[in-house]
């Protein structure tokens, strides 16, 4: 039987922009920080280029394409500012807790965020108990998204074959990483940063098989995956 016609053996959730509506907050902090060190870049450019990307990759991009090397402590300062904003404003995606609780399938989180921010975000929004220890960060692998390392690592730790996994992603680098790992992908466009393209055309072009914007539809998305 074709494994792609079967119910997924594991559902892997990205965190930022999927489980929590963090991207507008974190991208705003990143944009302000980059502007402070002389990088002439606007929020929309930051959103388009860096959503779903690790800070290591972002700073490599800034040094290569803008010729600006961040001063010592810059990344730590942006992370601290982001966490402070999260404390004040971060919210879980509408309906996500109920949808994950009703899955009836093994699930985990695989995120580009560093471990401290990742667990902080999930704790703040009350989602951490849904995943327990099954929370994985790009800090645990050699290469972050768009490379497949993190998703392959998460699948291995969860004891699932890549071809049985379904990834829920909101970014092109994340979709690319999942497809490179040999996994199916559903694109999520319900976050506050997706107002520009609710149909998720960029995600479809990157390889997402389905796109949805409301966690009330998660069960149907999984059934059709």
Q: How far apart are CA 177 and CA 35, in angstroms?
A: 29
Residue 55: per-residue pLDDT: 87
- Per the prediction, the chain carries an average pLDDT of 92
pLDDT per residue as tens digits for the range 118-134: 999 999 999 999 999 99
Which pair of structure tokens corresponds to residue 189? 């466009």
Query: What is the per-residue pLDDT for 1?
Result: 31
More confident residue, 144 or 31: 31
Selected residue with higher pLDDT from 198 and 58: 58
194 pLDDT tier (thresholds 50, 70, 90): confident
pLDDT at 186 over 80: yes
Is the pLDDT at 164 greater than 70, yes or no?
Answer: yes
Which pLDDT band holds residue 5 (cuts at 50, 70, 90)?
low
Which CATH architecture describes the domain 3-22+90-224?
3-Layer(aba) Sandwich (3.40)
Report d(CA 153, CA 140) in Å as an integer: 8
Q: What is the pLDDT of residues 72-85, one digit of tens each?
A: 999 999 999 999 99
The pLDDT of residue 32: 97
Q: Given pLDDT bands bounded at 50, 70 and 90, which one contains residue 176?
A: very high
Identify the pLDDT of residue 192: 81
Mean of the pLDDT values across residues 188-200? 80
Domain ranges of the chain: 3-22+90-224, 23-89
Q: What is the mean pLDDT of residues 106-121?
A: 94
Report residue 115 as tokens: 């471990």
Calculate mean pLDDT across residues 208-214. Answer: 95
CATH of 23-89 among 3.40.50.1700, 3.40.50.1820, 1.10.150.240, 1.10.540.10: 1.10.150.240
Confidence (pTM): 0.85
pLDDT at 93 over 50: yes
């Amino acid at each position: 039987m074709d494994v792609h016609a079967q119910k997924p053996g594991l559902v892997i959730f990205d965190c930022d922009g999927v489980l929590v509506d963090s991207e507008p907050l974190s991208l705003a902090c990143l944009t302000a920080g980059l502007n402070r060190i002389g990088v002439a870049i606007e929020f929309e450019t930051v959103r388009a280029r860096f959503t779903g990307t690790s800070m290591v990759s972002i700073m490599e991009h800034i040094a290569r394409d803008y010729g600006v090397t961040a001063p010592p402590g810059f990344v730590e300062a942006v992370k601290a500012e982001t966490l402070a904003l999260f404390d004040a404003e971060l919210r879980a995606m509408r309906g996500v807790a109920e949808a994950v609780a009703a899955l009836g399938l093994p699930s985990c989180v695989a995120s580009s965020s560093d471990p401290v921010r990742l667990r902080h975000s999930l704790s703040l929004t009350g989602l951490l108990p849904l995943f327990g220890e099954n929370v994985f960060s790009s800090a645990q692998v050699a290469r972050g998204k768009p490379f497949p390392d993190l998703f392959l690592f998460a699948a291995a730790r969860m004891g699932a074959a890549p071809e049985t996994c379904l990834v829920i992603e909101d970014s092109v680098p994340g979709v690319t990483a999942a497809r490179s790992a040999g996994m199916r992908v559903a694109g999520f466009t319900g976050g506050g940063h997706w107002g520009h393209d609710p149909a998720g055309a960029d995600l479809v072009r990157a390889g997402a098989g389905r796109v949805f914007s409301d966690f009330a539809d998660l069960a149907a998305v999984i059934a059709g995956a």
